[in-house]
Amino acid sequence: MSTRSQDPVGRRATIMDVAAAAGVSRQTVTRAMNGMTGISEVTRERVQRLAAELGYTPSRFAKGLVQGARISVGLAIPDLTNPYFPAFASSVVEAATQRSWNVVVDDYGHGTASGLDAVARLAPQVDALIGYLGEHSGEAQAMMGRRPVVALDCPEGGAAGNISFDYPYAARLAMDHLVSDGRSDIAYLDSDQGGPAASRGSATAAVAAEAGIAVTRCHAAPSAKAAREAVDDLLRSGVRIDAILAFNDLMAAGALKALQDGGKSVPGDCAVIGMDGIPLGELTTPELTTLSLDLRTVGRTAVDLLDALLSGSVEARSPAASLILRHELIVRRSA
């Protein structure tokens, strides 16, 4: 009976299966399968024969790591159904590809998963990591050891590098625009996720307080559907509003729909401003005014910082490893 016939049906053979069958170490299997020196020809042939019987073939990715072909970068993304994150991921891949780096993407936004779950999956296969890790950036860096992590939207974390966003500046842009348009009853439609996401809402509240503006704050999951339901409830409550600033553009799109369903004209009865600047804003009716990030710049900045950390030209956790990017107010028809 062949060795392969003893293998469970449907189970893919691993490098450890080959090592066990041949009575050698994992490193010896790696050398045999990749034509490396340091083992006898007899051992090489025996390992390759057993690997063929077991149906084992090394992955192209693993082979690339053995041969040192490329740096491999993990990319931890919380929700690829939000158009912001595919756009950001695309910008990272573009910048990494220019350096001949591999990028391995993990979307952890399912169920109760967190950024740490993504890091646990990525850590065995990557040389460095970029990600939206929430409050877990320090723990993520600990899991990666000396391999650098660049965390986004978490300025006080413990990652080797971080990129944060100047939310007070963005809030001032929005408030100045709304006040100059005569708006005084402003609602902030916030995400209910808490953690670093709460910094947008806190910045908005602080800027409004400085300007002497009372802001009604309501919360919803960061999706168009949840935002629509939250604004429906707000309108039914009888609270007077003539402007809505939303946590992101998806939520702003939901707010637009709720206002239209409630018989409110936009921007006549109520202005709406989103945040992030995803292409969706140009497709809504009316087109969405937004606090926009240049996502190509965000991705390129993350890769540039990671490159500097890997090369040693920037020291981990130094002032040079902590960057701040700003939004731009893109005025369209909704406000």
The full set of domain ranges for the chain reads 4-66, 72-165+295-327, 167-292
pLDDT value of residue 9: 39
Asked if 240 and 185 count as a contact pair (C-beta separation under 8 A), the reply is yes
Q: Do domains 72-165+295-327 and 167-292 have the same CATH topology?
A: yes
| H helices present in the chain, as ranges | 15-22, 26-33, 41-54, 60-66, 84-97, 115-122, 137-144, 167-180, 198-210, 224-236, 249-261, 295-311
Backbone angles phi, psi at 103, to 5 degrees: -125, 125
pLDDT cut 90: percent of the chain above it:
63
Asked if 159 and 131 count as a contact pair (C-beta separation under 8 A), the reply is no
**Residue 82 reports pLDDT greater than 50:** yes
Q: What length does the chain have?
A: 335
Q: What is the pLDDT of residues 9-65, one digit of tens each?
A: 345 577 888 888 999 887 788 788 877 777 899 999 999 899 888 877 665 444 544
Residue from 168, 166, 123 nearest 147 by CA: 123
pTM of the predicted structure, to 2 decimals: 0.76
pLDDT value of residue 216: 93
pLDDT value of residue 27: 78
Fold (topology level) of 4-66: 434 Repressor (Amino-terminal Domain) (1.10.260)
Whether the ω angle into residue 267 lies within 30 degrees of 0, i.e. cis, is: yes
pLDDT value of residue 195: 61
Backbone angles phi, psi at 249, to 5 degrees: -70, -30
**Residue 263 reports pLDDT greater than 60:** yes
Rounded to a whole number of angstroms, the CA Rg of the chain reads 25
Of 3.10.20.30, 3.40.250.10, 3.40.50.2300, 3.20.20.70, which CATH number belongs to 72-165+295-327?
3.40.50.2300
User: How many whole angstroms from its chain centre is CA 68?
Assistant: 27
Q: How far is CA 177 from CA 97, 305, 333, in A?
A: 39, 33, 13
The residue behind tokens 């159904």 is 81
Neighbour tally for 104: CB within 10 Å = 15
Least confident of 125-134, 150-159, 171-180, 270-279: 150-159
The residue behind tokens 């992955």 is 59
The mean per-residue pLDDT over the stretch 99-117 comes to 87
What span, in angstroms and rounded, lies between the C-alpha atoms of 181 and 178?
A: 5
Q: What is the pLDDT of residues 63-78, one digit of tens each?
A: 544 444 468 999 999 9
Give residue 74's identity as a one-letter amino acid code.
G
pLDDT value of residue 6: 42
Q: pLDDT class for 196, splitting at 50, 70, 90?
A: low
**Residue 291 reports pLDDT greater than 50:** yes
**Residue 5 reports pLDDT greater than 60:** no
User: What does CATH list as the number for 167-292?
Assistant: 3.40.50.2300
pLDDT value of residue 106: 94
Average pLDDT score over the chain: 88
pLDDT value of residue 313: 93
What span, in angstroms and rounded, lies between the C-alpha atoms of 165 and 199?
A: 10
**Residue 256 reports pLDDT greater than 90:** yes
**Residue 2 reports pLDDT greater than 50:** no
